[in-house]
Amino acid sequence: TTDTAASLRGIEIEAELLLMAKYGVDGVYSEDPRINKNAKKFKHISYQDALTKKLKIMDTTALALCMDNDLPIVVFDMFKKGNLKGIITGDQNGTLLSNNNIF
């Protein structure tokens, strides 16, 4: 998949972060927020928690590659003005996935 290809390239170039730009999705939620208005948005979630909760972020191969190679991922809405700048300046509005349990 394109998720796996992006993960492999990120690992290959020793990237510090994988940016996962989405359309109309501003992060990772406990459930689909379009179906459940009470879905909780995660500011940070560990790879292990994402796998355990079976969250549909990206394909599991890509997620496992990032986890095994300690490549953090930021999921964000690419069409929301200022989001990319916010990631660069450390004021991101998406969700960080990493091996750490703290943000």
Q: What is the pLDDT of residue 30?
A: 93
Q: Rounded to whole angstroms, how far apart are CA atoms 44 and 11?
A: 21
Residue ranges and CATH numbers for the domains of the chain are 2-98 (3.40.1160.10)
* Burial readout 8-36 (b: 16 or more C-beta within 10 A, e: otherwise): eebbeeeeeebbbeeeebbbbbeeeeeee
Q: Whole-model pTM above 0.75?
A: yes
**pLDDT below 50 — which residues of the chain?**
102-103
Q: What is the pLDDT of residue 103?
A: 44
